Structure 1
Amino acid sequence: MGAAVKLTQAQKAAAILVAMGKPSAGRLLKFFKQEELKALVEAARVLRTIPQAELEKVVEEFEHEFTEGAGLLDSADSMDTILSESLSPEEISVLMGRSKPALSREEVWAELEKVEPARLAQLLEREHPQTAAVILAQMAPKTASKVILVLGKARRGDVMRRMAALGQVPPAARALIEKRIAEILRAEAGGKDASAGQARVASVLNEMDKAEVDELIGDLEAAGAEDIEAIRARLFSFEEIVDLPHKARVALFDGLATDLVTLALRNAPQELVEAALSALGQRSRRMIEAELAMPADGIPAEDIAQAQRRIAATAVELSQKGLFDLPSAQKAA
């Protein structure tokens, strides 16, 4: 039996930073050395997800340890203790990336029913028509009908014909089909885990300056990371507002507080100011223009940067909801 897989020190620090959220994590990131930032980005890329409620308990205890000098990257023993006291063995197994027990026959079919019909149709398009026919024949009719409707026309007729000709499926054949379904489900789960890791890395990178982002992306490329383009597609900086279509800019600034927009536009290039103001109504635009015409003396540069990051984070959230595509996603396509 192999030794249990454990999180590295950098992975533990990345877990805490992700749990703290962008504002707090962003402030802490400034105190890391460049090599520590690189380690955190690489750790976040492969970090698994644990429930938010449980992570909040971890964060509270971690903050207590930190005030007494435990540190972030040099607190492996303390973090192990915190995790073991805050999470169940099952949750720790998920966090540590340990293998989950194999699904039972009932669980295999129950999990398959949860896959979106359109996605399941895509997956079955890759399978032999006879395999697809057996799978759909064993599913609930309501679910199977939704999947069949989104299958390609050529495949749909073949699969339906095979379903009609099916007799009793031998136990050995059923076992092979269930094994194949389990493989499909594992692949789907792995894809979701990868997407979550990419989102975490992008979340960390979006808290940094463009020069730092470019350097760290270069480090990931040099390290042989295979999901660079997927990470790039999730990156967005405030300056890229000028690259958004007008409709996307309207969606972005709709609902944002005028004082936040005003603060973010302080000392910004005129092109960027115009791109933002053109997405606003006339009343809001006049109010912000009047504020920007006043001296900005005494406004900390960090406050301006934080306002810009908040708006950039809003753009990322809206893009993930499908309201518009980020410029980085369009370049990666």
Structure 2
Amino acid sequence: MADDIAPEPEGEALPPSGSQVAAILMMLLGEDEAAKVLSRLDPDEVQHLGGAMFGVANISEPEIEGVLDTFVERARVRTTLGFGVDRQIKGMMHKALGQEKADKVLQRITPVKHVNALENLKWMDAGTIASLVEHEHPQIAALVLAHLEPQIAADVLQLLPEDKQADLVYRVATMGPVPETALAELEDLMNRPTKSVPTGAATRRGGAGEAAKIVTSSRKAAEQRIIKALQKLDKTLARTIEEEMFVFDNLMGVDEKNLGTLLRAVDNDTLVVALKGADEKLRQKIFGCMSSRAAQSIQDEIADRGPMRLAEVQEAQKTMLATARKLAAEGAINLGGKGDDYV
């Protein structure tokens, strides 16, 4: 009887993910070809793809065929318009204008690329970057910080002398368009200890927002020290960076006890206007810190106000955040410390 029982049908295997497809294709390439592909990826992409390659070591032949079919199908809808574009444009110009005239035109219109240096930063740890920029001109060091991820930039900042940290944050915050001379100097600096890596598009960085991210990613003690030093350099800029560091939506991360203390320090009119443009989840969290009667009163006032100018709402939110920062500085509330740090 046992032989008459049909086996349970196996469930259909899930199709491979995008990472698995890429990993399988990489495993099918020769070592040199695979190395060329990896050299064009960012560090986190190399790590992710490498892990996926270990995970597809026991792939079946039908699965490989399915991956190849998928690759061929996708490749058919892609064009080669962007490949070798520099060489193609140069060839057309030479044929149309002659080499001498074409070279002069190309010199004016060809985008200047200073991306090798910036790409190199992705492959360095904080200690290496800090030792690299420690004795360079502060503007070059600031340019490097502005092109790092905020957490890495904060780690680099902590490794640099304390008396330089506030100045560097100030330079990041006030950074405008970067001149070619600075980019050339940066490229020269990066090329000293490292080899060039594949190019990509360079972007403009810097500004109060970038500076705020770097300071926010630092430890609380360093954050407070840097802000105090910035206030001596430029009070207006220091206030702008502080505003960027803690925005109204960040109140979602404040617990009910501290939020309740803040609400008691803010007058009702400011609260009503500030909540007029707040996210609904944040509104409900704030209402949850009040008595039901007080919450209903605030909701009724919000409804009665009707449409309001965005500038009024933003000003009320800034006022409320200024009160929050003041209470935090006095130790009355905790806005969310880092690690074992408290305010």
User: Shorter-chain-normalised TM-score: which range?
Assistant: 0.3 to 0.5
Q: Which has the larger radius of gyration?
A: 2
TM-score normalised by length of structure 2: 0.32
Which one has more relative contact order, counting CA pairs under 8 Å at least 6 apart? Answer: 1
TM-score normalised by length of structure 1: 0.33
